[in-house]
Structure 1
Amino acid sequence: MFETLRSRRTSTSATSSTLKEKLIENEPPKPGESTKKVPYVLFFMALCAVLFCIGFVFGSHKIKFTHDFEKKEASRVTEQVTWSSTTWKEERQLKEQPPIRPTTETKDNWKSSVIFDSSPVYQGRPWDDIAHEVAIAVKTGKAVSKERIPKHNETWWKRIPNLLLISDIKEGETNIVGLKEMFEFLPRNLSKLVGLEQLEAAEGDVEKQPAFFGEMTEGFVMDSKKNLPGFLALYKYFPNKKWYIMLDDDTFVFLDNLALTLQMDHFRLLAEEQPFYLGNPFTVSDCDKYGEFFDEEGKPNPSFAHGGSGIVLSKAAMERIAPHIPWCIERWDVCKEGDARVGLCLLSFQVLLTELQPFFYHETPSKYFEEYASLTGNRQGRPEALPVTFHHIKGPLVDKMLQLEKEAVAKHWLVTYADLAKAFAPEDFEFA
């Protein structure tokens, strides 16, 4: 009986529900009410699908654009650092990998893109990759500037974007600065020590020919006053460079070889953090506590980088001594050579010399090969090694050095000691 009642109740409930639904379906709509029901869920899902599609298309385009941009950027960077990734090797690696011999067409195209006597723009060369990181000061004098400067200035100096010429007096509208301009960065009480009073009192003395190393003429004394003020001026004119270099006005530099030297890992990675400097070692002599060979304690005298061969300071070295250069000018004025004063200033603040002889050399290539047999150890450059600087390079000798570099560029290569030997060594010369 209970089952029958339960079935009836269920049946009645279902029937009444069906009748109710029919009545609702047949009921006329109220005024202003739509007869169609909007499928909100479906509409929302469709909207999400459309937005997803738009986002997918836009995102794919952006990813492709970013990929293309990064690909182009990577290609551009690869082109710029071709030398750094393949050619910046130490000398033993250069020996293992001989130069690629270009075709005649490639060689001719390369020659036409490099004009040594007039064009300041060079493509695909090691120096060009680091030139903006290097500031170079060239030390000259009024007596010799007109004789020495033009030949260098018209050729390889054009490749140096950060160049400062330091002299006795400023000359016309040129980029030569004199002692007066350099003195602006120094305390007033140092005017005598830097030679400014002497220069103003007897300007005619500057016309004397500056002497070579070891000859204590008035011109030499005046010239030796420029080194420390010159380095400070170079730092003030070109702050925040990775390398600071000082040369004489008759120093010749194979800039691409210099670039490879500075890009060796143990120099390149430490330049901004570790204070050190590079050059051709000469020994301090007869200066303050240093005698001819030994100091007052009996220790061997320290070395300094010879100025005519080139003095190269890392950024950290320059930043360490720059605030103390006025003190160094006063402290080491008793020394006769300006480059020795620089070396002792650096040594005073624990900056040590890294010796790079014969790559930085104090004489001409001819003199080097004449003295080769008397040189020992690492001072004898191997045929495949890369020379960097030579001193006393003037007039036609500049052209001869440039011709060697031009021939090396035509082969997509660099000047080596073997190249120098062909041009300057005696006929019977042989490498050890």
Structure 2
Amino acid sequence: MGIAERRSIRSCISRISRPQKIILGVFAFLFIIYSLTPYDSRARSFFRFQHNVIEDYYQNVHPTDSWLYKTQPYPIDPQNDVAIIVKTGFGTRRRVPAALEALSNESFFADTIVAQDFPLLPDQKNYTLKNGKEVPVIDIIGWNLERGALKGQEQQERIMKYENLADAVDGEEWMLADGLGKDMGWELDAMKFLPSLEYVWQTLPKKKWYIMADDDTYMIKSSLALVLGHLNYAKPQFLGNPVGDYKGRFPHGGSSVVMSGAALSKLYDRHPEVVAEGNQESATAIWGDKLLSTTFMKIGVYLDETYRRLFNGEPPWMTRMWVDRFCLPLVSFHGLGSGDNMLHVGETFKNMKEPVFWRQLGKIYGAPEFASFIAEPIRANVDYVGRLDEYSTTVDKITEVDECVKICHEHSAECLAWTFDPGRKLCHFARWAILGDVAEGRFSGINGQLAQKLEGSCHSPP
């Protein structure tokens, strides 16, 4: 650096006022403290949480889908570049055939394994996808115990429960095994996340992307393939539907969790001591998806909430089509474990070779067109709002349905759907709409003008 340059810098510094110097000093001090704290410290978690809040607000106010229609910089071959883990337990094992059949109905067949929490049954074999690709089954907790990853934890209550279940399965005491499986399924599930990923990393290495899902989760793989083509798999990536407070944000496991091969490589190849610590914690952890997230945090891999709006933790008939998601791909459904729900969803989406967007859900399921609500705004015995929460609004002392319609129009940017309950004199409205739930005695509708405006703002493929 020359004399003139140094003089210029000193001159600039001298022109900064004392209060400005103090502010700069505070920021420099905070940056140094932040940089020196562990990756999973509360300080880092707090600042990251605030950043996510700001980014989420911006995406809510200025939703965009233009990035989806740019050339994919990281295109993938889904059949060879993706691995899927389906987690199941003894109490839910009968869901697996339907889950795999549904996943076989789409346009590509990713390598898949089933990770369960009990020994293989006497007549249990590997599953097979419709294209003939074999799906191995692994007792992942037994595998983790046999290799010594849980050494020293054998007397933990949870591991003893697993041993009791394993003994009941080996002894073909099915009533006892069913009772144990149903009572402690959530506990054993927490022990499956980390070893399942390690097992798939060892048996199906070098995949670009790894996806973990429950046995009642359906993934729209054509939507997923579109999104992944825009993400760099060579960088540690960790995606999902965020839940939890700032101290430990983690992806909701039922909405599916997506990780790049680089993230798994960083964890399992470069930080075995962190993996070992996580396996030990799994014997007492409450939630496996949170344990997975906090383990990644220890090596500086954080949940990326940029793509949170792509993941869905509800079945189709309860899915809320939010205002800020209309133009985005819909990646997952959850809660499909009852009856034939999984098979019905698989049948509905089996011919989907193109990505599915949130706004298309009504059309796929035969719900009324959004535009039809402009001429006929009120529908009887139906509810288009669905589940109420802190993001919905309720107005009381409403006596006429027309008042509820008027309230929605007065909040035209915030009301996509409304429901009037005459018995309780309540008007509910929200920034989302569902397909329509049967609700005797109620009146409901969708803000057709807003829905059309949102649809018109969406880009089309070039």
Normalised TM-score (structure 2): 0.54
Per-residue CA deviations over 1:307-360 (Å, capped at 9, x if unaligned) read 111111111110122223221122465530011100100011110111233311
C-alpha distance in 2 between matches for 1:185 and 1:160: 31
Paired position in structure 2 for 1:207 = 178
**Are 1:127 and 1:258, in contact at CA under 8 Å, matched by a contact in 2?**
no
Q: Percent identity?
A: 24
Paired position in structure 2 for 1:425 = 435
C-alpha distance in 1 between matches for 2:195 and 2:177: 18
**Are 1:251 and 1:310, in contact at CA under 8 Å, matched by a contact in 2?**
yes
Alignment of 1:220-299 (within 5 A): 220-264=186-230, 267=231, 269=232, 271-272=233-234, 274-283=235-244, 293=245
1:397 deviation in Å? 2.8
RMSD: 3.2
Consecutive unaligned residues in structure 1, runs of 5 or more:
1-89, 97-125, 212-216, 284-292, 294-299
Residue from 173, 180, 187 that aligns with 2:125: 173
Alignment of 1:375-386 (within 5 A): 380-382=324-326, 384-386=327-329
Closer/same/farther in 2, CA of residues 206 and 135 from structure 1, 3 Å limit: farther
Paired position in structure 2 for 1:396 = 340
Consecutive unaligned residues in structure 2, runs of 5 or more:
1-63, 127-135, 169-175, 366-433, 437-443, 455-462
**Amino acid in structure 1 at the alignment position of 2:263:** A
C-alpha distance in 2 between matches for 1:400 and 1:234: 29
Paired position in structure 2 for 1:152 = 99
C-alpha distance in 1 between matches for 2:157 and 2:226: 35
Paired position in structure 1 for 2:391 = none
**Are 1:325 and 1:345, in contact at CA under 8 Å, matched by a contact in 2?**
yes
Residue from 144, 147, 151 that aligns with 1:189: 151
**Are 2:362 and 2:435, in contact at CA under 8 Å, matched by a contact in 1?**
yes
Going by fraction, where is strand more abundant, 1 or 2?
A: 2
Paired position in structure 2 for 1:330 = 280
Paired position in structure 2 for 1:316 = 262
1:166 deviation in Å? 0.7
**Are 1:252 and 1:398, in contact at CA under 8 Å, matched by a contact in 2?**
yes
Q: Give yes or no for the alignment of 1:364 onto 2:315.
A: yes
C-alpha distance in 2 between matches for 1:331 and 1:91: 40
Q: Give yes or no for the alignment of 1:302 onto 2:248.
A: yes
Q: Give yes or no for the alignment of 1:198 onto 2:172.
A: no
**Amino acid in structure 1 at the alignment position of 2:66:** R
Going by fraction, where is helix more abundant, 1 or 2?
A: 1
1:91 deviation in Å? 3.2
**Are 1:186 and 1:326, in contact at CA under 8 Å, matched by a contact in 2?**
no
**Are 2:256 and 2:311, in contact at CA under 8 Å, matched by a contact in 1?**
yes
**Are 1:332 and 1:344, in contact at CA under 8 Å, matched by a contact in 2?**
no
Paired position in structure 2 for 1:351 = 301
Closer/same/farther in 2, CA of residues 314 and 396 from structure 1, 3 Å limit: same
**Are 2:149 and 2:280, in contact at CA under 8 Å, matched by a contact in 1?**
no
**Are 2:211 and 2:258, in contact at CA under 8 Å, matched by a contact in 1?**
yes
1:408 deviation in Å? 4.1
C-alpha distance in 1 between matches for 2:240 and 2:187: 22
Closer/same/farther in 2, CA of residues 399 and 334 from structure 1, 3 Å limit: closer
**Amino acid in structure 2 at the alignment position of 1:425:** L
1:130 deviation in Å? 2.4
Q: Matched residue of 2:313: which SS? A: coil
Report how many residues are paired.
Answer: 278
**Are 2:145 and 2:151, in contact at CA under 8 Å, matched by a contact in 1?**
no
**Are 2:222 and 2:352, in contact at CA under 8 Å, matched by a contact in 1?**
no
**Are 1:279 and 1:311, in contact at CA under 8 Å, matched by a contact in 2?**
yes
